[in-house]
Chain A
Amino acid sequence: MHIGIIIGLGGAVGFLSGLFGVGGGFLMTPLLIFFGIPPAVAVATEANQIVASSVSGVLAHMRRANVDFKMGSILLVGGVFGSSIGVMLFAFLREAGQIDLVIKLSYVFFLGMIGFLMLLESLRAIMRTRRPGNHKTKLHQHNWLHGLPLKMRFRRSKLYISALLPLAIGAFVGILAAIMGVGGGFIMVPAMIYLLGMPTSVVVGTSLFQIIFVTANVTFLQSVQTQTVDFVLAGLLLLGAVIGAQFGTRAGVLLRGEQLRGLLALMVLAVSIKMGFDLVIRPEHLFSVELLK
């Protein structure tokens, strides 16, 4: 693959991630696969790149004290555990020749779900701004999740909840991160808001903080197990992404929040639909080969 194309891809995805404030892994990994990078290399290398972009993102949030380190630590314990399982699962599926299928199914299902929910939410928000009214929402909703043992106090998030909940969320997102080649922010952020009830101000910073460790774990395990991490490729993508993100952030100021979310939802849905089509449309060649050397 040409160096210019790689940096260009990084720049384009960086622009979108700056615009929407997302990590961009869910766009970059499918694009790399689309451009002929083997899925195993794409997923492992993208994990390496996300380490870098999360470090640079978390520094900005730390300056504004928008990181709940205690919550982040519990999430990352779960995340490291989950991503280790994810990498093992990945190796097993690769051996069985089914990794492409599982990657695509995960994208179809999770992106489809998240994209659909986001689209609904932003449409509702757009309607609401057109018809202003009084909307009161409860800060927390209490349910059975609050009855779990091992309760802990999270000062920064103003929460007193069971540690099992963030552990489980961390583990689940960790598995997905390892298999899909993403940081998992697009699942982690809604889970933090709706399941844990964290204040939105600390959500992104805390999510980025734990993503660093989860993707670092994936990078290390993939390096050891499959030797599929290409840090040169990751570095080139990052170079493009860093520059693209600056322009994206500036462009983002021009759009309103709910419009941005609506656009992001459409993009997420588009990736999901594209992956879905790949699975249901009869492939041009029923046979495929892989050189085992």
Chain B
Amino acid sequence: MIELKIGQHIEMEYGGTAKVLKILGSGGQGIVYLVEFNKMKWALKWYDIDKIKHPKEFRRNIQNNIADGAPSNRFLWPKYLTKELSDGSFGYLMELKPDSFDSFVDILNTYKLVVDPFTGHAVKKQVRFSNLYAMVTAVINIVNAFRQLHRDGKSYQDLNDGGFFINVDTGAVLVCDCDNIAPEGSNFGIGGKPGYMAPEIVRGIAKPDVQTDKYSLAVVLFRLLFRGDPMEGERVVKDVCLTETSELKHYGQNALFVYDPDDASNRPVIGIHDNVIRFWRLYPDYIKDAFIRSFTVGLHDPNKRIIENEWQKLFIRLRAEIIQCDCGRTNFTTMFGKNDDRSYQCPKCGKIFPTMSFSNHDFRFPIYAGRRFFECEIDTESNEFLNLAGEIVKNKNNPNVLGIRNCSEKTWKVKMPDGKFYNVSSGKGFQMWDGLEIDFGNVTAKVD
């Protein structure tokens, strides 16, 4: 391929030039450069045109995507095309990812390589979610991004670990590599990445579409939570060398989920798949069942795959079922003791957590200082998974007394011990008591 030179000017489709500043990275289809265009910094993806099967159609598809615009601000969407060079090669500009985002690859590896500016040597720097809220929020954001994309009538086609940037402190997600995204039914040559491709693509009987995206999405979520490959267990590692034949077998025709309830022959192996073994037992059944469904009946029947909206509900519940104990232990309610239907207990320090109910959820939310409510939990219409709507806080004068602060924009109606409802506006707080009721608008909550 023809690499661009630093300092080179690339003509843009509608006039002006982008000046190449440096290489940011390279991938299977080309190289990404940092460029300056219109006095702003952008990322330029420049294609290795030999690797694009149908360059004309491919370019036209990007053009259409630019015209349609991104499904939401969770996508690093193509913004401007360059002109074609004489050999037909071209690229497109997209926004740069902010520094606060790490690549999903680095998260899976648990480290990134950072070049020390003084010595020039690359040193390993740890990359991990700083809290459990952030990790589950990232899952919700990924699922929601694909829900938005599919609702736009498009499929991503090449869903894999290289497709996301994540803020490990907040769980914010940016979907990148949006250039293979195509309207349902179209494909411009991409097949996908081994390990993420749906079995029917591996077997050569289907092309990437919304249904195969759903399979890849389940793989991405499994890897994010369980830190391993859903199909790599005892049966697979016996092959020692992963050849074409063994890959076709283990990821295509005879793919077998490591926790298939009806076939234990491909279980994770101690010493290799320790993450998967350790994490699988931590999650509640409704999460495990969704993965079991995705990777058993959903494996060969695309219509049985979990739809994004269902994933979204399951993970909003999972996030609501996180308990952060004063003793430092943070985990899902499944990993706390259950004394009765209405309270949990920390196995480490013995602290008891009462719960509250919400009219739009059929499970109970544990109550503890630091517990956060998000907009999507108190407003059935909301797709805001990051926006804080409320928080349980300790009273400044008496830390044993808990209250709720309204962090949303709306005014809530709150039932006080005198039995009357009072308005609590944005920024204000109120004491929690046994019998408390909150009317958020289209959702109500009760401590009962």
- Pair from one complex: no
Chain B interface residues (CB < 8 Å from chain A) = none
Chain A interface residues (CB < 8 Å from chain B) = none
